[in-house]
Structure 1
Amino acid sequence: MASAAAGSRKSAAPEQEPSAKKRRYALESVDKYEQLDVIGEGTFGVVIKARDRRTGNNVALKKFHGVPDFDAVRIEAACQHACRGHPSIAEVKDVVADAKTGDIFLVMELLGNSLRDEIPYARPEHMVRTMMRQLVGAANKMHASHVIHRDIKPENILISGFGMLKLCDFGSATFVNPPGKPYDECRIGTLPYTSPEQLAGKHCYGPAVDMWALGCIMGELLTGAPLFGGDVTEEELHADLSKNLGDIIDELRFEVLPELSPAAGEFFSGLLAFDPEKRMTVAEALNHRWFAEDAKKAEFAGL
């Protein structure tokens, strides 16, 4: 009788499971959008320019390669949606599906080129300060929303028609764990922008990984080339940073970038502190004198 009861319980589960899945995975049709041109492609899939048939507005559809992991798509959309409303974060509008193929699409605002397309030359300090203020603002919104991006790099920063920078691609993003709770992944993201603690294989980290990546981007904007990476392994890069980070930053500040202001040098060094506990937080960055001095100049000029 016990076996019969167990068999009865097992047979009841499949009758409930399909309806539960249907509620969870029910998505509107991608047919709401007229697909126009492929405008980008990466390891995740492709980005397609499309037109919303209801409004006539153009949007971007992020289509994932292969059989999509709906949980991963859901987390990506949830992290990006949690940061909605910030002018320097790309807006995710919807998640839709193709009923025939099973493809899942993120619907996002349509933007221009990535910062990678525009970066191969050194920029003056005042221009870098304007760009970094936008990126630090985006990080502030993310961290206040308990989200860490984990893959901030020039390819994931798009430029709007008005020249504004917009952080996008939250495919590696996650909600912040409580202190001491490890993440499943440690070395996630792109090598030249990966923090020392992640390179060391630590699974307990936090928003400081995004601040490191912003420091790497600041250096790249100032010099026109990536600061780290190249033809090295993760272990080799970590060893190099462990031994030589101070010398690398000093060489950049005093030999490559001799005209960099003291405030900018402080800001740069603060973002690239090897120890995440000593690394500049987003709140410290927003209140740093590098930004404050610029605001005072604008106020004095009546801007």
Structure 2
Amino acid sequence: MPDFMTLPEAISRHIHDGDAVAFEGFTHLIPHAAAHETIRQGRRDLTLIRMTPDIVYDQMIGMGLAARLVFSYAGNPGVGLLRRLRDAVENGWPNRPVVDEYSHAAMANAYEAGAAGLPCAVFRGYLGAELAEVNPNVRALRCPFSGERLAAIPALRPDVAVIHAQRADRRGNVLIEGITGVNKEVVLAARRAVVTVEEIVPVLDAHPNACVLPRWTVDAICHVPGGAHPSYAHGVYDRDNAFYLEWDRISADRDAFARWMDAHVLRADPAVFEQRVRHLGSRA
């Protein structure tokens, strides 16, 4: 059964310098609040794993947390590139992380392999593609039964998985509604799992098969309403499209980025966060 604790307690207990950490969530339920707390606690030398690095990873990279990036598509969804990621990779500001780039299919299969306890993922992919030329972890093998040429990459086994969900019950079972992405697989693949939720309820009031993550898969649950903003939480609040557009302007300049992070993350006023949570709730 997981422990119920505050977000600062969960990050302090479960994420350490040098860890491989996956902050997952596909289009919605992206754990922004947990990532911000990781930044506030000054974690360093992390391997950041995510299928679709977007602005939450742009912020972590720009603050110097990333020693290595393991990802598929990276960008500000619907807007353009990630300016802090690009500055880090091209110019080494504030540091230059190692890059392991894969396809979406590869990442999904690698999480699945990690969840199954397998050493690698084997799948159809990369035929005619050039990604293997820049990522030595992309290998090829022959099926021993059909002779078919297949792709193989190492399984993903993060030290920590961090996800956001709509609700958990008091026993620690987690309900995810809407797009689940790879949230189940990353939690099962990881050694430790932290889940932030919009709501903690006595019972989930859902069919047992709707419980994506039973309590034995999770180590810590934190009550963090609004914890996915500016992404959305299906059935709770909408995506803040204006912020994604604004982030392109903020992140384009190092000084503007640093000022925004200082005001909104490093020295964030809890009262302001609570006010934003109430605002989000009114949009549900």
TM normalised by structure 1 equals 0.23
Highest relative contact order (Cα 8 Å, sep 6+), 1 or 2?
2
Name the structure where helix makes up a greater proportion of residues: 1
More strand by share: 2
Q: Which has the larger radius of gyration?
A: 1
Give the structure-2-normalised TM-score.
Answer: 0.24
